[in-house]
A and B are shown apart, each in its own frame.
Chain A
Amino acid sequence: MTKLAIAINLHRCTGCHTCVNACKMQNNVPMGMLWNRVITENSAVSDGVEGTYPNISRTTIPLACQHCENPACQKVCPTGATYKDDMGRVEIDYDKCIGCRMCMAACPYNVRVFNWNEPDRDPGFNYGDARVPVRSKGVVEKCTLCKERTDNGQVPMCVECCPMEARVYGDLDDPNSEISKLRAKNNVRILLEDMGTKPQVFYLE
């Protein structure tokens, strides 16, 4: 079995938002929404701080679908539009999505976005990878772990573009992969671990 995943080194991440734009460009993500965003944790302003002076810290967290091993979103989907594929990715079959948004309520990470309107793209045409299916209004979408790239042995676009090389992509089921070795270290942070969704994406701090 394959269990594709991404590790993100929070010490290396500078919060530059390059991965945000790389993802948006690659996947033809419409205006007004993102599959991948960078939040400044527990701060009301971007690049702000957490805590009160002088005890302050700043963590920028790139946040997209965690490709959970126990995906809350997949369980609740009435049509099976959201599914776990054999590469360990959580994917959406847009032709099956009835737009009930059960999955948005179920996902603890708020990483799913919905096409509330006819998708609007700033240049007025579709951009990005031609292999990425175009979504219509009324369906949910989210990070696919760059399905079209990873199916063909390429790394996800966010991993490719990160200027700080904070992202490591690989197969958690291959004990010799770099990502498996990182996963075994003790500075691993799993987001909202108590939700029991068992994210495959993890963070190093």
Chain B
Amino acid sequence: MQLTSKTKGICILLGVLAAIGVGTWIYQLVNGLGVTGMSNVNSWGTYIIMFMLFVGLSAGGLIVASSAHVFNIESFKPLALPAVICSTVCICLAGMFILIDLGGIVRIWRILTGPNFVSPLLWDMCVITCYLVINILDLVWISKGAEEKVRKLSYVALPVAILVHSVTAWIFGLQIAREWYTAIMAPIFVASALDSGLALLIVCLVALDRAGIAEFPVKLQNMLGKLLATFVAVDAFFIGCEVLTMAYPGAGQAQALAIMATGETAPFFWFEMIGGLLIPFLLLAGQKRRNSTGLVVTASLLVVFGVFCKRCWLLLTSFVEPNMYGAPGISLGTHAAQTGGRATWALTGSYMPTLPEVVIVIGVLALGGLAFTLLSQYLIKGRTQTQGAAGEAHAAKPAEANRAAV
């Protein structure tokens, strides 16, 4: 099939960005993770933030697609294909971020030869693989119109989707050494996966509608907007519970709360509270406002960016104050630290992504954009055309899911 010249242009641009990203990743492989802003005191950074974000973003798609079948929501069925494309691309990006973050990727096969089943990271790698397989099966079956198989798969997909977010949360939530150690971590991850994932899906659906690939009726937009408002409220509730629990005793985690509310990670925290939860909720709460595509897209983008900010404060706050505090502090092990002197040390944690880190992230995002564009061109638009060509005999047969193409 043919791509329009505009689509071609976008694809070339994304392709170039992705290639620059790959080049920078090779540069990082050669020189080590020292090219990033991470150090011994702040040992995880942007890559892990993006990993958390994309695991979450991938949720929306699969959850909408499988709820269509599990809860028999007829009107969601046409959305299943774009939703699963979105979900598949996002989970691949999440996996890529984990791999990019590894210092010794050449030894990765060691996970297969000597897995430690107690490690949450191992659990995560297992469920993410399952999740990816489910996504791909879903993609294949939906585009073939194998309605019955899709329906059965949905019953597995929904719990696995919830599990992926919980296990990702446990990578953090089970670490007693850090402020992440809280039982609400998994619910928070599921909630923000639901809201950010659905928000991204809405943006993608509007984009597909504009590109003339798949129709996104205003009625559905209104409905998804309402659902998004509900998810945002649930997310806000969980965060509220956690913040109150941190604040009330006035001890223990109050220090971490102070860092979030007024300290280093405050901009992220407050953006999320206001820009990522409050404003989108107000925008989406009105029945009329939800009919305006502009407002719904704005709210959705705010939700995604808000959840990105949440990942930032969630991850980085825990690295600020070391448990054992005292001068000269922690030896950083960075490039600057290697030159010796004061640059070796830090009393508290700080982190700023470097240019290579940002370029790699942009590259990965571009790759995702490219994959989404091409997949939706070939799977959705491509199918519309084949159907058109095949004539009535084919068009009459397809099941519900195929309506996505019409």
Contact = CB atoms under 8 A, between A and B. Distances in A.
Given A117-B32, A138-B33, A41 B323 contact: no
Interface in B326-378: 326-340, 344, 347
B39 interface: yes
A42 interface: yes
Given A44-B327, A116-B38, A76 B32 contact: no
Interface in A106-132: 106-110, 112-118, 120, 122
A96 interface: yes
A163 to B, nearest CB: 20
Contacts of B104: 97-99, 136, 138-139
A102 B103 contact: no
Contacts of B116: 75, 77-80
A187 interface: no
A16 interface: no
Given A33-B331, A76-B175, A98-B103, A104 B43 contact: yes
Contact of A75 (B119, B327, B339): B119
Contacts of A32: 331-340, 344
Contacts of A109: 323-324
B120 interface: yes
Q: What is the interface residue range for chain B against chain A?
A: 35 or more
A34 interface: yes
Contact of A112 (B40, B114, B125, B344): B40
Interface in B80-128: 101-105, 107-108, 110-111, 114-116, 118-122, 125
A78 B122 contact: yes
Given A80-B114, A109-B324, A101 B119 contact: no
Contact of A37 (B102, B174, B328, B339): B328
Given A61-B324, A79-B116, A114 B103 contact: yes
Binding site of B, secondary structure by majority: helix, strand, loop or mixed? loop
Nearest to B337: A32
Interface residues of A, number: 57
Interface stretch (A2-10, A148-156, A164-172, A188-196): A188-196
Interface of A: 30-34, 37, 39-46, 48, 61, 63, 72, 75-81, 95-102, 104-110, 112-118, 120, 122, 136-139, 191-192, 195-196
18 contacts: A41-B326, A44-B347, A99-B107, A105-B175, A112-B40, A114-B333, A116-B333, A117-B31, A117-B33, A117-B34, A118-B31, A120-B338, A136-B104, A138-B32, A139-B103, A139-B104, A192-B324, A195-B177
Closest 7 CB pairs of A and B: A99-B103, A138-B103, A32-B337, A39-B326, A117-B34, A108-B177, A116-B34
Interface of B: 31-34, 36, 38-41, 43-44, 101-105, 107-108, 110-111, 114-116, 118-122, 125, 171-172, 174-178, 318, 322-340, 344, 347
